[in-house]
Structure 1
Amino acid sequence: MYRLTTVLITLCTIIFTVLAAPIRLNGIATVSIEKRTTHTGDGTWFEVGTGACGYTDQDSDPIVAISAQIYGSGSNCNQWIHITNTDNGQSAYGKTRDECESCGSGSLDMSPGLFEELSTLDTGEIPISWHFMSKDWSP
């Protein structure tokens, strides 16, 4: 009886492990467990310094401050974001390093260096769409 129970538990463990793993085809994961949400809002720029994530950055660094609603406990710190200016199609990548208290949930505040990859500083505010990259992604 003990042997049969051990065999059944082992088989169940193997089956659940296989079902929980992503399907791979030629070494590439074909099923993603992380849903990518595209946000839309306004993009603005700010002079950076020491951000809510605890890092001190320069205006030339590709830095993003996300809304307080999304920032939450800071679990997105150091995560890269792909940002597109929906007026001209220009896109760039920025790293989450700060929280923007005055931003709407879909809006981002960017370092001058990052903002200039999408528009001129004189523009001040641009319509954007954006999404987080995978946690382990880096340009």
Structure 2
Amino acid sequence: MAGKLVTFISLIFVTTAASMAVPAKRQNFGQGTWFNSNAFGACGNLEFDSQHIVAVSTQLVNQLGKPGVCGRTIVASSGGRSTTVTVTDSCPGCGINDLDFSPTAFQDLADLSVGRINIEWSFV
């Protein structure tokens, strides 16, 4: 009887651990804009325009917490072009699925003169 109880408890533990695994990548659709950085971002890092960095919405930061977003890698695409960026900041004016890119990263997707583009993105 004790052996069956241990097996049952072990099964519950394995099932619980499996359900806590990292979720599958989720594609997000939103708007992409760009900002001049050269300052400290919300994640506490000094940012430069020449870096491949991005700000995610403040709403997303509040939802996932800074440890859940800061330093994470995102792959974003638009119009057949893509870029890989690191989250270093938050964007108060962005919708939950919008991203605000450094100029260097935005130029991987479109010319700066465009200003705003439709994007598809996911955490890596």
Q: Tell me which interval the TM-score lies in, with the shorter structure as reference length.
A: 0.7 to 0.9
Which letter does structure 2 place at the counterpart of 1:113?
Answer: T
- Unaligned 5+ runs, structure 1: 23-31, 134-139
Q: Does 1:62 align with 2:58?
A: no
Match of 1:9 among 5, 10, 19: 5
How many Å apart are 1:66 and its aligned residue?
0.6
- Unaligned 5+ runs, structure 2: none
How many Å apart are 1:13 and its aligned residue?
3.0
Residue number in structure 1 paired with 2:102: 111
Matches of 1:66 and 1:18, distance apart in 2: 34
Matches of 2:56 and 2:91, distance apart in 1: 5
- SS of 1:83's equivalent in the other structure is strand
Match of 2:93 among 102, 124, 130: 102
Pairwise CA RMSD: 1.9
Output one character per residue of 1:57-107: Cα deviation in whole Å (capped at 9) or x when no partner: 21111111011111113121111111011xx21011111110000111221
Which letter does structure 1 place at the counterpart of 2:46?
Answer: T
Residue number in structure 2 paired with 1:76: 69
Computing the radius of gyration from Cα coordinates, the structure with the larger value is 1
Residue number in structure 2 paired with 1:47: 36
Higher relative contact order (CA 8 A, sep 6+): 2
Matches of 1:44 and 1:12, distance apart in 2: 52
How many Å apart are 1:8 and its aligned residue?
2.7
Q: TM-score, normalised by structure 2?
A: 0.83
Matches of 1:45 and 1:33, distance apart in 2: 30
Matches of 1:11 and 1:59, distance apart in 2: 56
